[in-house]
Amino acid sequence: MADANPTTAATPNYPIDVAKLANSISGSKTWGPLTVNYSLDITVPQVTASASLYGHTIDNIVLNPQNPKDTLGGSIGIAKAEVTLTADFTKKEIDYDVDVEIFGHKLFDNTGVLFTW
């Protein structure tokens, strides 16, 4: 059974950069067969994002104040997906516009906020 007492619990044997952890946000969002993984480094500021379709990476992008909008997209077999990400570093949010199709039929055609910070 794990030791629940924080004073006696084992400490990690590797350095942890607490400042870096406090300045980053990462996560993912899934629409059917499409998954977008993202990571924000607030200190740069910069967002890196990748898209995978059925678990296979189809595209990667980097957003920053000089390049605040870009599109991830591609197809695998019967599925095609495209998601445009727009970073508003003043409002501190990333918006998305996603389109996922299978056999030419739309599964998802949505817009919204991917995340805020």
**Residue 37: what pLDDT?**
98
State the first-to-last Cα distance of the chain, in angstroms, to the nearest integer: 37
**Residue 41: what pLDDT?**
95
Question: Residue 48 burial by CB count (10 A; 0-12/13-18/19+): exposed, middle or buried?
Answer: middle
Query: Is 96:83 a contact under the CB 8 Å cutoff?
Result: yes
Calculate mean pLDDT across residues 13-22.
66
**Residue 17: what pLDDT?**
67
Residue 44 has phi, psi (to 5 degrees) of: -75, -50
**Residue 2: what pLDDT?**
52
Residues ≥6 apart with Cβ < 8 Å to 55: 35
Query: Is 80:105 a contact under the CB 8 Å cutoff?
Result: no
Choosing among 2.60.40, 2.60.120, 2.30.30, 2.40.128, the CATH entry for 18-116 is: 2.40.128
**Residue 11: what pLDDT?**
61
Query: Is 87:96 a contact under the CB 8 Å cutoff?
Result: no
**Residue 6: pLDDT band by 50, 70, 90 thresholds?**
low
Reported as a single tens digit per residue, the pLDDT across 89-110 is 999 999 999 999 999 999 999 9
Domain range annotation of the chain:
18-116
**Residue 22: pLDDT band by 50, 70, 90 thresholds?**
confident
